[in-house]
Chains A and B, each alone.
Chain A
Amino acid sequence: MEQNTKEKIENIIKDNEILLFMKGTPVMPQCGFSAAVVGVLSHMGVKFNSVNVLEDADIREGIKEYSDWPTIPQLYVKNEFVGGCDIIREMHENGELTEYFEKAGITV
């Protein structure tokens, strides 16, 4: 990964408390897995920012290497990689996600 791509990713993650790397936008997701995570966060009433990886090929490839995670979506909360679609869904279903946000000092 090029250094400036890495810096770009680091900066967006740092600047956004809750950040979702996704395909499409929260209003118009371009992939069912991204849509599922948007659905969970919206359902919980969590405010988040998103990056549409389809609009930036460097970030689309870079974030996979950065997180050591081969797929999109990817959720970051306060600089920490929380997971992709399966993990977020599972954490939502068993209540862990609410706990996670509370621990991170985010009101849901």
Chain B
Amino acid sequence: MAMTALEIEELILKTFPDAKITIDDLRGDGDHYAAQIISEKFKGKTRVQQHQMVYNAMDGKMGKELHALALNTSAPKD
């Protein structure tokens, strides 16, 4: 099972409507992605918390349909 970059982006946007998202399909196999996500919602959160928020936004697909989603999360710089 794999997902398209667009499906991932749509899922993330549901939880993080303000997010700037860049997604790379690392191997072109629809199963190994890297996502850079910048959102106000990450402000004041630890990196573990930020990634947990994204995983929760993925609605249980992470680790199942999607094997690998490398994350780089941050809040926008003022």
Contact = CB atoms under 8 A, between A and B. Distances in A.
B57 to A, nearest CB: 12
Given A68-B52, A69-B52, A87 B63 contact: no
A69 B70 CA distance: 13
Contacts of B48: 69, 81-83, 87
B42 to A, nearest CB: 14
Interface residues of chain B: helix, strand, loop or mixed (majority): mixed
A5 interface: no
Contact residue range for chain B? Answer: 10 to 19
A84 B73 CA distance: 14
B74 to A, nearest CB: 11
Interface in A56-108: 64, 68-71, 81-87, 90-91
Nearest to A85: B70
24 contacts: A64-B63, A68-B52, A69-B48, A69-B51, A69-B52, A69-B55, A70-B55, A70-B63, A71-B62, A71-B63, A71-B68, A81-B48, A82-B48, A83-B47, A83-B48, A84-B51, A85-B70, A86-B51, A86-B70, A86-B71, A86-B72, A87-B47, A87-B48, A87-B51
